[in-house]
Amino acid sequence: MWIRLVNLSIGLWLMAAPAVLSYGPPAADFHRIVGPTAAAAAAVAMAQATRSLRWVNLLLGWTIIGWIIALVMSIREHRIIGIR
C-alpha cells in the first residue's frame, strides 16, 4: 500500500514540478502528461479490485527512464552543455 502512496506522490510532483522549478517544453509538456496519468493510476490501484492497474505505473516509470536516457544522449550528441 505504501508504494502506491509513493507513486501518487511522484505523480503529483511531476504535475507541480514545471511550475515550481520553472522549466519549459518539452520536459514540462511530458511531465504534464505523465504526472496526472501516474497519479490517477496510483490512486485507482489502491483499491483491491483494480490492483492490476499497478502495471500501468510500471510502464509509466519505464517511459520516464527512457525519456531521461534519450535526453542525456541528445545532450551528448549535440554538445549543448559544452562538456568534451
Is residue 52's pLDDT more than 60? yes
Give the 3-state secondary structure of 25-53. Answer: CCHHHHHHHHHHHHHHHHHHHCCHHHHHH
Q: What number of residues does the chain have?
A: 84
* Of 76 and 42, the one with more pLDDT: 42
Per-domain residue ranges for the chain? 2-78
State the residue for C-alpha cell 551528448: 76
Q: State the pLDDT confidence band at 20, using cuts at 50, 70 and 90.
A: very high
Residue 37 contacts residue 60 (beta carbons within 8 Å) = yes
Picking from 19, 21, 14, 20, the residue whose alpha carbon sits closest to that of residue 67 is: 14
pTM (whole model) above 0.75: no
Picking from 20, 74, 11, the residue whose alpha carbon sits closest to that of residue 45 is: 11
pLDDT mean over 28-32: 84
